[in-house]
Structure formats: C-alpha cells, structure tokens
C-alpha cells in the first residue's frame, strides 16, 4: 500500500523539480467556473467571463520557459467583444524574478532584441505564484499577459498592491459583459468581488514594466489596479486578470513548497 507520506513526497518533488527538463504536459487538476476580468487603463471594467476552464499539471517553473512547452491552460467559450480568445503557452512560476521579452518568438520569451519598454520583469514574492501566457484574440496573436497571483484571497481584499491593499478596488466581472454591466449581472457560478480564490490576480509593482530606453507610449505600471498593463497587441495599457481555483487535493504539494497560503484552501472548502 502506498502511504500518504510517499504521495506527499512525490508531489513536493514534482513541484520543486519543475524548473529543469520539461516533460509532456499532462493536466492533473481541472476546474471550471473560473474568472477572467479585463480592465482598461484607468481600472474601469472592459469585459470578461465566469466560465473559464483552468487546467494545471501542479508544477512550478523556476526559470523562463524557452522551448514552447507549458504547464497550464485557460479557455472559455464566451467571446470577448464578439471574438473568441485563446490563452496559449501558459506557464506558472514559483517565487523568483523572471524577465519576459514581448518581442521574442512565441514560446521563447527570453530577453532578446526588445528594449526596456518591451519587457516585463516579474518578481514573485514568497507566498505568491506568477503566470505568463500568450493571448490570441481576433486577428491579433501572441499578446503577452502577466499575472501575479496571491493565494487564498478575494478580489476585493486585494484591491491594490501585491500585499493586499484595499486603496482602490476596481470593478470585478460577475457575468459576461452585457448592457447592464459585467460586475452587476448575476452569473451561474455565483462569483462576486468577495469570492475567495485559490489564486487571485493582484497588481504588480511599478518595476514590472518600464518606458526607460524605449517608446514613451508604453504603459507605466504605477496604478493601484489589478493585473499588469499589457505592452503589446491591441490592448496596450489594459490588464487581463485570471482568478482561478484548484481542487482541494492539489493543495497537498504546497505543504513542502514554501507556499503555505494554500493550506487555508482546504480549511475553507472543508468548512463550506
């Protein structure tokens, strides 16, 4: 019989050893009813949905992925401004600092010919998780999206900077965008700005993106709005936020990864 200790050890080793060779992607967790919220440059709601499906192989990258592999997926059947969107090359990263070049070839976001204003420098503190992905919409492809996720918290409680400031909470998408407003229409998943997510998108530090050495039209990340402003594609200055859950068993490997925030996930769901 395989002991619980053996299962836990294997899960922890899988999570912490994910920065080396990249095996074929095999999702081990899948959740539905996750949230996508797009914010404009001033923090106003642009659109989103609450029927996003999230899959993940439960590993954390420890170095920028350059070979086109990925360890997660995000998808929804709901159009964004009349067009279906696709998130690809989704990679989830553990604590550390990662530099992504928005001018690099798809699947290889390592710094290349891009100027400072064309790069993201994502610093993920201990207790947080980060994500980088390429977003396709309509005829636009390979739009870089960066998320910093706080564990086990709500959109409302993380209204500002990564430590959870509530200085300026911005609108949350509680339903597909309609004439009544995305954050006011009920949705079948009952998501609200107070919903506690296993991983909720928060604002990134101002140092994440910069205009130094490049175009002065690049956005300057000095706001207190959720997410990281995009620096390429048709949505420059807007931020795409994904708020997701994982099944309770998926939290077990975090016990040995230093990301103890998800311990509260199991407690919260057990209580519910």
Does the structure show a pLDDT above 50 at 233? yes
Q: Write the burial class of residue 20 (CB in 10 Å: 0-12 exposed, 13-18 middle, 19+ buried).
A: exposed
Contact 131, 146 (CB under 8 A): yes
Q: What is the mean pLDDT of the chain?
A: 78
pLDDT at 258 > cutoff 70:
no
Q: Is pLDDT above 60 for 239?
A: yes
**For residue 54, what is the enclosing H or E element?**
strand 45-56
Task: Please check the confidence at residue 243 and state whether its pLDDT lies above 90.
Answer: yes
Top-confidence range, 113-117, 130-134, 167-171, 225-229: 130-134
- Tokens found for residue 237: 């200055």
Q: Please state the pTM of the whole predicted model.
A: 0.82
pLDDT tens digits for range 37-79:
999 888 888 888 999 999 999 999 999 999 999 999 999 998 8
Beta-carbon-side half-sphere exposure of residue 95 (alpha carbons within 13 Å) = 11
Tell me if 110 sits within 8 A of 101, measured CB to CB.
yes
pLDDT at 62: 96
User: Residue 37's beta-bridge partner residues?
Assistant: 48, 241
- The reported pLDDT for the residue numbered 145 is 96
Instruction: Tell me the pLDDT tens digit for each residue of 173-228.
Output: 886 665 445 655 556 678 888 899 999 999 888 788 865 444 445 566 666 789 99
State both tokens at 262: 């998800």
Secondary structure string (H, E, C) spanning 171-198: CCCCCCCCCCCCCCCCCCCCCCCCCEEE
Q: What is the tens place of the pLDDT at every residue in 138-172?
A: 999 999 999 999 999 999 888 865 555 556 678 88
């Amino acid at each position: 019989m395989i002991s619980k200790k053996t299962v836990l050890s294997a899960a922890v080793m899988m999570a912490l050893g994910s920065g080396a060779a990249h095996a074929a992607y095999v999702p081990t967790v899948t959740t539905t009813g996750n949230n996508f919220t797009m914010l404009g440059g001033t923090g106003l709601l642009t659109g989103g949905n609450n029927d996003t499906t999230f899959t993940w192989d439960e590993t954390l990258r420890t170095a920028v992925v350059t070979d086109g592999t990925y360890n997660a997926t995000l998808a929804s059947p709901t159009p964004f401004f009349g067009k279906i969107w696709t998130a690809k090359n989704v990679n989830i990263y553990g604590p550390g600092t990662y530099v992504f070049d928005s001018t690099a070839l798809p699947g290889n976001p390592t710094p290349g010919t891009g100027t400072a204003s064309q790069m993201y420098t994502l610093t993920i503190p201990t207790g947080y998780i980060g994500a980088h992905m390429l977003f396709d919409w309509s005829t636009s492809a390979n739009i870089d999206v960066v998320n910093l996720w706080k564990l086990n918290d709500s959109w409302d409680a993380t209204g500002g900077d990564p430590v959870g400031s509530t200085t300026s909470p911005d609108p949350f998408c509680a339903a597909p965008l309609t004439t009544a407003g995305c954050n006011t229409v009920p949705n079948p998943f009952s998501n609200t700005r107070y919903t506690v997510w296993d991983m909720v998108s928060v604002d990134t530090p101002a140092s994440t993106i910069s205009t130094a050495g490049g175009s002065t039209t690049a956005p300057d990340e000095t706001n207190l709005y959720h997410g990281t402003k995009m620096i390429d594609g048709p949505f420059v200055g807007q931020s795409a936020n994904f708020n997701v859950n994982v099944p309770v068993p998926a939290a077990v490997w975090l016990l040995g990864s230093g990301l103890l925030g998800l311990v509260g996930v199991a407690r919260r769901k057990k209580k519910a």
